[in-house]
A and B are shown apart, each in its own frame.
Chain A
Amino acid sequence: MKRRTFLMTTTASALATGAGAALAQAEPPIRIGMTVSSTGTFALAAQSGLRGVEIWVDDVNARGGIEIGGKKRKVELVKLDDRSDKTTVPKVYETLIKDEKVDLLFGPFGSTLTAAAVNATETAGKFMVIWSASADSIYAQGFKHIISATQIAGSLLGQPGVRAIHALGAKKIAFAYLDEPFPASLTQGAADLAKQLGMEITMNEKFAKGTKDFNILIQKARASGADAFYPTAYEGDQMTIARQLREANVNFKAVYLVYGSQPQFLQQAGKDADYILSQTLLHEKINWKVTHGLNRAQMMERYGKLFPNAQYAADFQTALAYGAGVVTEEVIKAAQSLEAAKLKEAALKLNDKIVTVTGEYQIDQTGKQFKNAFSIMQNLPGGGLEVVYPPQVATAKAVYPAPAFDQRK
């Protein structure tokens, strides 16, 4: 979308929402500010998330708004463009706070932009709801008025896989990871949990970017006596690992590849993908029993109605942002105020009391999200996928131990 078109659309929809609210009732709307990237690296993901927020705004306004002090107030979303530029973000958030006089804020997309926004919101004493920033560093700086409503922290991203493998009965686990921040952080968190659960870590080895051959690494993992193999890298490396496991006839009871259920991986890996465990957040088979807001099917239906011309289908960014809206609504209701300190206090009191489309909600004082964990999938021969963990959303029992390669059809 061109910037001018984006701004015009944004202004028009904001005016329309504002005018509608003014006509409908005397109570002023709750103004929520956020930035969205109309261009640049984060444009696709940011706009995907925006549509999730807009689904929530549409839904909450259709129900008459959020009740504060016995009076219902509609929600007005004020969106400005950040052009995926972290140097622009602080200024735009200042504009939202000082000129647009928003009551609270949603974060921009991703850790990079959120880290740039949070100083502005914190300095102004405004409450910010984060929906897509996983970097632990954001939550380690002592900010008082932020919460990650739905996005689990980066160091916890890899833990559901370990929990699932542990629940299956694996006692020994071998880790390997690409020496880059995301795989390293994910593996560190996963290995920490494995230790806490009493599992024996038989190997924890990193490999450099550009590694093309994983045969020896795979053989080392086997020689270490591991029940489960947990190598983390990006899709290309994981395709190679899956193929080389099969070619070398190296059998583990469980193999966990973080991207193993992504459509691209499944399409390219073919039979190499069979029985592999992986994680994802939005899939037709992941259906949380939501306590607040729309469930997955309803959200998808609403997406189709509100955005019939959207270039892409709803994805996990949409779900994260929609879920963040639902959490925000409950926080405002519980706080009965728009003051940052009261909102944060209410947000903490809601721990374990909300289940949204992306799962359960639990934060700590820093605002870091501990739940909303990804669900664990297992690829079945023929291309089927089943949810195998957590039990609340599981659709099948995992095949464990996975059949040896020479016994597979």
Chain B
Amino acid sequence: MEILVLNGIVNGLVVGGVYALIGMSLTLLYGVLRVVNFAHGEMVIGGSFLAYVLFHAAGIPPLLALPVAAVSFFALGYVAYYLLIPRLARSDDPESMSFLMMYGVSIALAALMLLLFEADSRSIDYTFNPISMKIGPVYVSTARVVALAITIVVSAAVGLFLFATLPGKALRAAIMNREAIQIMGVDIVRLSAFAFALATGLAGITGVLVALVFPAFNAFSGPEYSIIGFIVIVLGGLGNPIGALLAGVAYGLVEQLATVFLPQALAQIVGFGLLVAVILFRNAGFMRWRVGR
């Protein structure tokens, strides 16, 4: 049982790290733009498919696919912002409209991936050497250790950016009070485009990590990650990137440890139970953070 628990903790940290990245990028979008991005899961899976194509078409390993995914998805996000988001601002209820629009985008992206890659599950036949390492009594796949390390580095970089740079502070300020920073002279459109691009870039990176951690994915895998993202941002407090990080890890740990003690089919219920409990008893999330409206 000790080994199972240790496995649960290690897996929880790895899986939670991926959930944290999904949540962090999703919450940035919501915080700055008030966009409920239902297509976030498809963006993540888009990153997985990019890694798949780079590996199978050009032999580029997933680690090298990371910067490619980050840059290309950042650029796509920037363009997508100007194509999609400014129009929403003119509607009476931008949040609801953003949900509907991004739901449509999610269907379109899934259909596009289906067209390009068909319905079959894909997997990157790439393993690190050695394929796994022994940490104490537990074997952990090298891919997972690498994914966890990348998650930590990316999360630290995003944290540093948000707390130690002027654009990062502007993003946090936009999350806290979108109107006030415009009065201070910040170009909210440019800042929003940057936030959208940053979140999309993070989704691309997460997608590559997903391909490493959960080896099989297909065109219809997106909604599962969107749902996890929404759970994480509610747990962490809407619009709170640090809360999302902590909530992602906590959710991953709870899910994996529940699997140790309960049948696998019940473990998901425990995760949702945690969500319901947070909404009922601490509805501003772990961090008691509310987005300025």
Contact = CB atoms under 8 A, between A and B. Distances in A.
A237 B120 CA distance: 11
Given A210-B224, A216-B11, A217-B259, A240 B216 contact: yes
Interface string A228-263: 000000111101100110111110000000000000
Interface in A146-188: 176, 179
Nearest to A235: B121
B7 interface: yes
Contacts of A395: none
Nearest to B257: A216
A223 to B, nearest CB: 6
B264 A211 contact: yes
Interface in B197-234: 213-218, 224
A213 B215 contact: no
Given A247-B131, A249-B132, A264-B120, A176 B264 contact: yes
A205 B217 contact: no
A244 B14 CA distance: 14
A206 B8 CA distance: 18
B132 A213 contact: no
A314 B265 CA distance: 38
B141 A207 contact: no
Interface in A79-107: none
B141 A269 contact: no
Interface in A175-209: 176, 179, 205-208
B268 interface: yes
B163 interface: no
Contact of B216 (A219, A239, A249): A239
B216 A217 contact: no
Contact of B265 (A206, A212, A236, A239): A206
Contacts of B122: 268
A32 to B, nearest CB: 34
A244 B218 CA distance: 18
Contact of A236 (B121, B131, B132, B144): B121
Contacts of A248: 132, 139-141
B110 interface: no
B43 interface: no
A220 B4 contact: yes
Nearest to B261: A216
B143 interface: yes
Contacts of B4: 216, 219-220, 223
Nearest to A179: B265
Interface residues of B, number: 35
Contact of B7 (A208, A215, A246, A264): A215
Given A219-B7, A235-B120, A236-B121, A213 B214 contact: yes
B289 to A, nearest CB: 28
A271 interface: yes
Nearest to A270: B125
B265 A208 contact: yes
Contact of A240 (B3, B140, B214, B264): B214
A211 B140 CA distance: 19
Contacts of A205: 263-265
Interface string A384-405: 0000000000000000000001
B174 interface: no
B256 interface: yes
Contacts of A207: 264-265
B250 interface: no
B37 to A, nearest CB: 20
A236 B216 contact: yes
A216 B215 contact: no
A211 B139 CA distance: 21
B15 interface: yes
Contact of B8 (A179, A208, A216): A216
B272 to A, nearest CB: 11
B215 A239 contact: yes
B123 interface: yes
B191 interface: no
Given A216-B256, A216-B260, A240 B215 contact: yes
Nearest to B260: A216
A216 B7 contact: yes
Nearest to A178: B265
B224 A212 contact: yes
A268 B7 contact: no
A272 B46 CA distance: 24
A213 B123 contact: no
A178 to B, nearest CB: 9
A236 B218 contact: yes
A247 B216 contact: no
B11 A215 contact: yes
Given A206-B263, A243-B215, 9 more contacts: A206-B265, A210-B268, A212-B214, A213-B15, A216-B259, A216-B264, A217-B259, A240-B216, A268-B122
5 contacts: A206-B263, A210-B268, A235-B120, A236-B216, A243-B123
Interface of A: 176, 179, 205-208, 210-213, 215-217, 219-220, 223, 234-237, 239-240, 243-244, 246-250, 264, 268-272, 405
